[in-house]
A and B are shown apart, each in its own frame.
Chain A
């Protein structure tokens, strides 16, 4: 190609203490091209993004802007140079309108320094027109879906004449049609001459959207190549460095008694009349669109939220409403959806996080036995093949997949008879994903009843003995494994089933 790349990294290395996050990595982003970035968690993708965005400065190597070396002193420099990053969960000012968010700090003015709202709204409409998005510029940001918020962020980037748009796992929290809409926006920008960098754990999306793909593994550059001619397996092999046999290995397990029984559970305005059972040895999936009430049912069953009517029994013991402590005592465990907010205390060490669910069992006399705490953590860390340096390290330093293993360890250590997992593989890499699936299958084999909430259909179809589908707060269908297909689950989830 004749023109130099809009933005490039040349032989960049970056270390944090002893951790070499990037080793001699190069990448070239060209105008009019969407470049995919693939790699497991901990492969260095975030560091690469932050280097492009001016957050990190390379220890060695160069950042090249239009072929010329540049030194971004901070994110503001990168932004000035036309580099914009759209994160997974944008942070807009909720009480300001869409247009005000886009023009924050750069509002068009009229006489006496007053903000020219009319011009601001007109320019916002024009931006949305360019992107092909139907959003009202005067609407407050509060209440916008994450997908819409991302579009606002993109519009903001475009309004600043961004020439490079980096999208860091933008689709992780989006539903199917929202992804489609985001892609059409990305396509439009590419045709208008933007250089795009797209990061996703969903390989399908890389194949759909990107022309080139760069793969990182353990901080090192593995490949940079055209997507055309590449297969899924090729890409996975580059990411993992080995063959990944089967992604979803649920094995047949003898099905025992009913362990979890939920009867006519209702939380007003959230979900209504939900009844189901999970037996020992079974994995039951709770599927449905985002917002159908799946996580809310799980939260109520575990006692995080109160229910208004209905009953929950675990191994024949009726649970009181609104008490996680009682739920745990009865043998229930919940691996929550949001690792950062609900799963782990990031400031605490691996062992303390794992110990948090067993403060009673770890007691020797009045005090916690540090040895017992460490043994418990080591035991589960080894069983789950956790990659760690020391158990006393903060969980914050672990990669997403390993953090998820710590959350699992924390809950498995309570020896539950019913395990509820909410999006157990969200945001974790392919290798760890397969490990989590193997683990869930093993646990079912050991007679644990597993209730799995998942937005990923292949995971649901591969893992579940039965699929419960929720639609708008109600249980819309119960589909046995043999009849569960993408079509049958999706039609129930969208309310099309009879």
Chain B
């Protein structure tokens, strides 16, 4: 009896999702090092990180939203709108120092619109942000058409592509690490974080406990829009090209990373550590596929499959668990 209980405990630990993803991360890394020459080099890994910057940043905000049982599918479109605005304003002769805060503000407004539609009108965020996904991308094309704007000031471009001096860490990733620490503390150690889990798990209980559910959700959407717009600025500078279709479809990679990281799409469960493992896993896979000259279509297929697998596996585990317990 005691033996059986002990066995189950070990089983429970191994089946802990974030541990599983972290192990998978190590496995992919090991496999990549053996199979793909040039993968496990500082230069490549630094590039892989840099290429992951926007997804990683947006995943931070997305984690908080999904924990609170909401989702923002419009992030990639906000990124595109932000990129288009940077291009249009730069071409119009505005100083980059003015453009960046202005564009980030527009991102915040995009998030505010999402948040107001969800909290004031009580609409499901999935539907609202599918709508604004199309709307904001459309606005991006209105702003810039299908042209591309380049020639940004080298000092700013350097901030988007170069490493922190003396380290292999690109500046955007340094920013990500800083923000991840803050979001990690907020999510796991503050009252605000506690509120998010309560809202995600049982919104009515949170409301009955005096938690300002609507205000908190609104704040999350604004944060998400802000981060997405800032990611748009980084994306634009990093590629040196402002286009309306920048970042097309990366919301899927973000959500795949968050779900892969063990955040329950129904809310109330998940850790930031898991999400970071999920982000890195997605990043490594994308990098490996790229090094292997795999086409973007296949990369997209892999992202899609990962998304499904990450939603499916916990369900399968919960189906299998009772069966395991049933064995005498």
User: Which residues of A does B touch, CB under 8 Å?
Assistant: 15, 17-18, 57, 59, 304, 324-325, 327-328, 334, 336, 341-348, 352, 355-357, 359-360, 362-363, 366-368, 410
Q: Which of B193, B206, B208: most chain A Cβ within 10 A?
A: B208
Q: How far is the CA of A359 from the CA of B190 in the complex (A)?
A: 8
Residues of A within 8 A of B209 (CB): 324, 356-357, 410
* CB 8 Å contact bits of B186-199 with A (1 = contact, 0 = none): 00011111110110
Q: Is the CB of B204 within 8 A of A362?
A: no
Which 7 residue pairs are nearest across A and B when measured between Cβ atoms? A359-B191, A367-B189, A328-B210, A356-B209, A325-B210, A345-B202, A345-B201
Q: Is the CB of B185 within 8 A of A367?
A: yes
Give the residue name and chain of the A residue nearest to B4 (CB): A17
Of the A-B pairs whose beta carbons lie under 8 Å apart in the complex, a sample of 21, sorted by A's number, is A18-B5, A324-B208, A328-B210, A341-B204, A342-B204, A343-B205, A343-B208, A344-B202, A345-B205, A345-B268, A347-B268, A355-B194, A356-B206, A357-B210, A359-B191, A360-B191, A366-B189, A367-B185, A368-B191, A368-B194, A410-B209
Residues of B within 8 A of A363 (CB): 190-191
Give the residue name and chain of the A residue nearest to B208 (CB): A342
Residues of A within 8 A of B201 (CB): 345-348
Q: Is the CB of B205 within 8 A of A342?
A: yes
Q: Is the CB of B268 within 8 A of A359?
A: no
Counting CB contacts under 8 A, is B16 at the interface? Answer: no
Q: How far is the CA of A344 from the CA of B212 in the complex (A)?
A: 17
Q: Is the CB of A359 within 8 A of B195?
A: yes
Residues of B within 8 A of A336 (CB): 208
Shortest distance from the beta carbon of B64 to any chain A beta carbon, whole Å = 16
Counting CB contacts under 8 A, is B34 at the interface? Answer: no
User: Which residues of B does A touch, CB under 8 Å?
Assistant: 1, 5, 8, 185, 189-195, 197-198, 201-202, 204-212, 268-269, 326, 328
Shortest distance from the beta carbon of B197 to any chain A beta carbon, whole Å = 7
Q: Is the CB of B202 within 8 A of A346?
A: yes
Residues of A within 8 A of B326 (CB): 57
Residues of B within 8 A of A342 (CB): 204-205, 208
Q: Which of A324, A325, A345, A362: most chain B Cβ within 10 A?
A: A345
Q: How far is the CA of A442 from the CA of B41 in the complex (A)?
A: 70
Q: Is the CB of A345 within 8 A of B208?
A: no
Give the residue name and chain of the B residue nearest to A356 (CB): B209
Residues of B within 8 A of A346 (CB): 201-202
Q: Which of A324, A325, A327, A356: most chain B Cβ within 10 A?
A: A356
Q: A348-B201, A356-B198, A359-B195 are in contact. Are A334 and B5 (CB under 8 A)?
A: no
Q: How far is the CA of A486 from the CA of B185 in the complex (A)?
A: 56
Residues of A within 8 A of B191 (CB): 359-360, 362-363, 368
Give the residue name and chain of the B residue nearest to A361 (CB): B191
Give the residue name and chain of the B residue nearest to A299 (CB): B208
Q: How far is the CA of A345 from the CA of B201 in the complex (A)?
A: 7
Shortest distance from the beta carbon of B177 to any chain A beta carbon, whole Å = 19
Residues of B within 8 A of A324 (CB): 207-210
Shortest distance from the beta carbon of A210 to any chain B beta carbon, whole Å = 33
Give the residue name and chain of the A residue nearest to B202 (CB): A345
Shortest distance from the beta carbon of B209 to any chain A beta carbon, whole Å = 5
Residues of A within 8 A of B1 (CB): 15
Q: Is the CB of A304 within 8 A of B195?
A: no
Shortest distance from the beta carbon of A359 to any chain B beta carbon, whole Å = 3
CB-contact partner of A344 in B193, B194, B205, B210, under 8 A: B205
Q: Is the CB of A368 within 8 A of B208?
A: no
CB-contact partner of A345 in B189, B192, B198, B212, under 8 A: B198
With A324-B208, A356-B194, A366-B185 given, can you name 20 additional A-B contacts, CB distance below 8 Å?
A15-B1, A325-B211, A341-B205, A342-B205, A344-B202, A345-B198, A347-B201, A347-B268, A347-B269, A348-B198, A348-B201, A356-B206, A356-B209, A356-B211, A357-B209, A360-B191, A366-B189, A366-B190, A367-B189, A368-B190
Q: How far is the CA of A347 from the CA of B267 in the complex (A)?
A: 11
CB-contact partner of A368 in B189, B210, B269, B328, under 8 A: B189
Q: Which of B194, B195, B207: most chain A Cβ within 10 A?
A: B194
Q: How far is the CA of A18 from the CA of B3 in the complex (A)?
A: 11
Shortest distance from the beta carbon of A258 to any chain B beta carbon, whole Å = 23
Q: How far is the CA of A367 from the CA of B195 in the complex (A)?
A: 13
Shortest distance from the beta carbon of B247 to any chain A beta carbon, whole Å = 32
Q: How far is the CA of A356 from the CA of B203 in the complex (A)?
A: 12
Residues of A within 8 A of B194 (CB): 352, 355-356, 359, 368
Q: How far is the CA of A359 from the CA of B192 in the complex (A)?
A: 8
Shortest distance from the beta carbon of A356 to any chain B beta carbon, whole Å = 5
Q: How far is the CA of A324 from the CA of B5 in the complex (A)?
A: 43
Residues of A within 8 A of B207 (CB): 304, 324
Residues of A within 8 A of B193 (CB): 368
Q: Which of A57, A357, A360, A368: most chain B Cβ within 10 A?
A: A368
Shortest distance from the beta carbon of B182 to any chain A beta carbon, whole Å = 10
Shortest distance from the beta carbon of B192 to any chain A beta carbon, whole Å = 8
Shortest distance from the beta carbon of B91 to any chain A beta carbon, whole Å = 42
Shortest distance from the beta carbon of A425 to any chain B beta carbon, whole Å = 19
Give the residue name and chain of the B residue nearest to A359 (CB): B191
Residues of A within 8 A of B211 (CB): 325, 356, 359
CB-contact partner of B212 in A18, A325, A327, A367, under 8 A: A325
Q: How far is the CA of A363 from the CA of B192 in the complex (A)?
A: 11
Residues of B within 8 A of A360 (CB): 191
